[in-house]
Structure 1
Amino acid sequence: METLLSNPSNVIEKEVGSGIVFKKYSDNLLNSPEVLLKRVMDIILSSIFLLFVGIWLFPLIGLLIKIDSKGPVFYRQLRDGQYNNKFLCLKFRTMTFDPTANFEQARKGDPRITKIGAFLRRTSIDELPQLVNVLIGDMSIVGPRPHAVEMNQDFERRYRNYNFRHLVKPGITGLAQAKGFRGEIKVDYDMKSRLKLDLFYIEKWSVGFDVMIIFFTLRDIIFKSENAY
């Protein structure tokens, strides 16, 4: 059977919203009967966390953010989701608040990152509000990480097959992150490696694969990846 990686040209172009995306007629993560199970798992896991942990953890983190610096608790950024449909991705604010600033990637030692923000980014706690995105269906717990719209516009021009990542819902974590590719995208190797792993995930997806990625992501967080900043 032809796959996304063995024959990436076997797609049809489809106009969705404001961007061209690609829909393949046969793909594990689009046509597998396990897709419903993936959605059920997303709903159950995100609901359990938000009800039993988020209900007390989010207010606590919000208080620490407010004490540490002026500005809102949450940071909302427009990102491309499945089929390039735009959505507002939620995060805890980890940088000084400047509503007039243009988009710029966070980098190691970035002076914009607050004290509490450094801790939240290092532990990936800043990503936890995205469980709300998962619950409402914008994201999945596991999938290719969504990039800012400004970055996508650049990457689409520079990297062949980049838009294939948008065949599926973006994730809070993905195979690339489980393999240690986190933080700033500095050189072509960083993005090409992430793209290769994202496409491999889309082709080989299974519920068991998702569980493995979650496990390795947690291990990476616990042992403090040097790329988490």
Structure 2
Amino acid sequence: MTTLLLASASPARLTTLRQAGIDPLVQVSGVDEDAALAEATRRWGEPEPADAVLVLAQAKARAVAATDPDADLVLGCDSLLELDGQVHGKPRDAEEAVARWRRMRGRSGQLHTGHWLIDLRDPDQGGTGATLGATSTTVVHFADVSDVEIDAYVATGEPLAVAGAFTVDGRGGAFVTGIEGDHHGVVGLSLPLLRSLLADVDLHVHDLWGTAQTGDATG
């Protein structure tokens, strides 16, 4: 089995992989995201939102790959919400989360998730040495929630821990009325996009399947 190392602290990304039959190693990168974006801006100019998440995903994957991990592949991910041309990561505090939800309600935004894959396999094991990435972009439609609902949601603390101040797989799912694109991209890791990146390094997604617990079918 080919081993994957997830360069992310996100429980949702880890759960997504495990439910898909992939049980990755996990190592948090510790990348200074503001510094990484500032350096990208200095070198290439202000990145578009879809490119900004790719810059951050790449920085995370490279930082972890540089530690010489015991894995065949390293995957870094990062997500940002784009609303009115502005990008939003995790809110700094509850006040910012409330203000953001008051702008988001009844409207639609784009959730961008960057993915960066590094192939660390030896050439005699089929390793390509590739380092490559892509961005998943999904349109999210938000319910016209009330101030009471916003206050109650922010009080749970959930919006403070995620990009865009919402989840679709938690309490925030009640406030998302529709999604155009890959649901898993909103959660934080697009499985179809991962499959595509794996194909670029001559692997299949089933090469990563192990003993992880998959979701049960229900009637």
Please indicate the TM-score interval, normalised by the length of the shorter structure: under 0.3
Scaled by the length of structure 2, what TM-score is found? 0.28
Scaled by the length of structure 1, what TM-score is found? 0.27
Q: Which has the higher helix share?
A: 1
Q: Which has the higher strand share?
A: 2
